[in-house]
Structure 1
Amino acid sequence: MTGTEPASGAAHLRWRPAPLAGLRAVAPVLVLLVALLVALAVVDPGFFDPERLLAFLRRSAPLVILAAGQYLVIVSGGFDLSVGAVVTAGVVVAAELFNLAPGLPWLVVVAVLLLGGLLVGVVNGIVSTVFAVPSFIATLGMMLVLQGAVFFWTQGAPRGYLPEDYRMLGRSAVPGAEWLPWAVVVLAVVGVAAVLFMRSDTGRTLVATGDNDVAAGLAGVRVARLRILAFALSGVAAAVAAILVGGFTGVSAQAGSGYEFQAITAVVLGGVALGGGRGSVVAAMAGAFSLQALFTLLTLLGVSGALESAVQGVIVITAVAVGGISWSRRATRTHQPVRESV
């Protein structure tokens, strides 16, 4: 299996990047991000004011967190199209809970959303692994189920409200450090956790599983359990994003609309291979920042927001095509037959 060591057991099946491979994976998207930030500074000279920059990070936080979760699923060989619906359901459920029980502690609601996201992810993982339903179809079905449930429950007009103590994570600052939004702190915690997870044996085995699940299974890896874990973490990431989105925008039946495709676009923009087995979680998160920077730049230039979907489509097609060509060339060089000398 490409990128793994010969092994007789799962303990030895770990994806180990070649020297400087991590840097090579992240460098292109970092160059793009820097270029977009420079362009933003040119169009809007005040963009790098600390307050404005932190506001940009706060707006980017939900998408970056979703991209980190989506990365786990994609690098293991799947897709998760349900994350946007999880965000919407999380915002609506929180509002309905506070409507039914106005004195409910906000931490209880946060715990309910996190458990709900975990449950959705586990169901996605079980359906796509145990029942062998392609993850694209399984999570598309979950997306439709959640969207239908939200609409049926609210009739298109969510009731309730989100109290200030709950919304602080999405729009308020850390007490005693009024310059630092809570959303940036949450983003930093999730980012560090994602990097540490991918550096662990489980994270490396997850990448190896996406590279070749048959070889992983033969080496003793419980492939189904590992992929269920990836979907579960993606569901939790979507729930965290829902908490931030609810705090930032308030109650809306369309709060998470489009986030699933933005997350996939961000991961692809970060150079992660669709189909699994190759990519960096740092690059995926940088891709989310780049996408948010691009949308901000288009807004400042007066380009219609209706073109965002078209831009995402172009990014996905281009990134996948370039990645496929690059991977084919490397594979050709790697497997080129050795000619015997006469």
Structure 2
Amino acid sequence: MTITEKPAPVVPPEDNAGRRAWTALRAVPPIWVVLLVVIVVLTWRNPVFIEPDSFVNFLRRSAPLAILAAGQVYVIISGEFDLSVGALVTAVVVVAARLSDGEAANTWWLILLLLAGGVLVGLVNGLVTTRLRVPSFIATLGMLLVLNGAVFLWSGGAPRGSLADNFRQLGRRGIEGLPGLNILPYALLILVVVGVGLWLLLRHSRFGYQVYAAGGNQRAAALSGVDVRRVRTAAFVISALCAVVAGILLGGATGVTAEAGVGYEFQAIAAVVLGGAVLGGGRGSVGTAIAGALTLQALFSLLNQFGLAQSLRQVVQGVIIIGAAAYAARRMRRSG
């Protein structure tokens, strides 16, 4: 008696295509879906939002926060926090106005000086955290207070001086005469350059792998030869440099004010967490952090569209941080 095996059922091609499409869709980070939904709602409320010039202007306004988030994600992936970036943004604007005093000839050496100051702030944050073993939350909170106090002493409570036109054009102007656009903002171009550079550094370099290792398991990273203290200090320097760039763009866009960076430290953390980074380290990416910043900015625009009070931003940020952190923790438990 011969036993014949039943032939395996043939899966229709459309089923395979649907399964591949579903698998590809599941691989997309949730933040991009959230961003798309918010943009759709914004467009429904205000169809002008999706027009090229209007949307590019939205990206220009979002660039400082997106750059801050791209730097902050390095610190968070490495297992630390940086609460000093908002105060550093304010310091950049106030110091630039005082030293520039409206003179275009001062702009380029001033930008180099501001970047050097950012490196110094990042080094202090990193060394205090890693060498003196002060928790980064306390160390950077202390730096926030130091910078705010220094700005107050420097300005006497009222910033003096002005920013030169060629300094301000980085945050306000752009390339004109492009087909379909009135202007392509310099701020957007700077965001692309910074974002791509930091993404390549994090995902395609030995240093990037070390950042993930330092945040994922400090002891295992050290045993495998990673200098955790050096890596975390470098992450703080990157975050501070991004804060300087964000401050330059904000100064150009909004002018001189002693409150230029107020609240930006929490917005940057909210954007990074919203992008899927895990508080405690080991997970996150530059791309999703930038998407988180864009989503946060779009949510604020949506609140304005609905005529809700400006004070609700803090409520939204708090809910986002708690909700996103809870979601990330739940996902880690399920995957573990």
- Assess same fold via TM > 0.5: yes
**CA displacement at 1:179 relative to structure 2:** 1.8
The equivalent of 2:228 in structure 1 is 223
Q: Equivalent residue of 1:298, what SS?
A: helix
Structure-1 separation of matches of 2:139 and 2:174: 38
- Counterpart-to-counterpart distance in 2, 1:94 and 1:161: 8
Distance in 1 of aligned mates of 2:43 and 2:106: 42
Q: 2:148 and 2:232 mapped to 1: Cα distance?
A: 24
Give me the whole-angstrom Cα distance separating, in 2, the residues matched to 1:286 and 1:191: 11
Q: What SS class does the counterpart of residue 174 from structure 1 fall into?
A: strand
Of residues 266, 270, 277, the one that matches 2:282 is 277
Alignment of 1:1-342 (within 5 A): 27-99=29-101, 102=103, 104-174=105-175, 177=178, 179-199=183-203, 200-331=205-336
Map of 1:15 onto structure 2: none
Indicate how the Cα distance of structure 1 residues 254 and 225 shifts in structure 2: closer, same or farther if over 3 A, else same. Answer: same
Percent identity over the alignment is 55
Q: CA deviation at 1:316?
A: 0.6
User: How big is the shift at 1:23?
Assistant: 8.2
How far apart are residue 174 of structure 1 and its match?
A: 2.0
SS class of match (1:105):
helix
The Cα offsets for residues 167-192 of structure 1, whole Å up to 9 and x where unpaired, read as 01100012554520100100110111
Question: CA offset at residue 204 of structure 1?
Answer: 1.5
Q: How many Å apart are 1:289 and its aligned residue? A: 0.5
Distance 1:235 1:112 in 2: 13
**Contact 2:170 2:252 survives alignment (8 Å):** yes
Deviations 1:226-283 (A, max 9, x none): 1110000000000000000000000000000000000000000001000000122211
**Matched letter for residue 78 of structure 2:** S
Distance 1:25 1:288 in 2: 20
Contact kept, 8 Å, 1:25 with 1:279, in 2: the verdict is no
- CA positional deviation for 1:104: 3.7
Hey, what's the Cα distance between the residues in 1 that align with 2:314 and 2:25? 30
The TM-score, its normalising length taken from structure 2, stands at 0.89
Q: TM-score, normalised by structure 1?
A: 0.88
Unmatched 5+ residue regions in structure 2?
Answer: 1-22
Quote how far apart the aligned CAs of 1:102 are.
3.5
- 8 Å Cα contact 2:69/2:290 also seen in 1: yes
For residues 261 and 214 of structure 1, do their structure 2 counterparts lie closer, same or farther at Cα, with a shift above 3 Å needed? same
Deviation at 1:24, TM superposition (A): 5.9
For 2:187 and 2:83, the matched residues in 1 are separated by 24
Deviations 1:199-233 (A, max 9, x none): 21210121111000111111111110111100000
- The SS at the match of 2:103 is coil
State how far apart, in whole Å, the 2-side matches of 1:105 and 1:148 are. 25
Larger Rg: 2
Structure 2 counterpart SS, 1:273: coil
Counterpart residue number, 2:16: none
Distance 1:120 1:154, change over 3 A: same
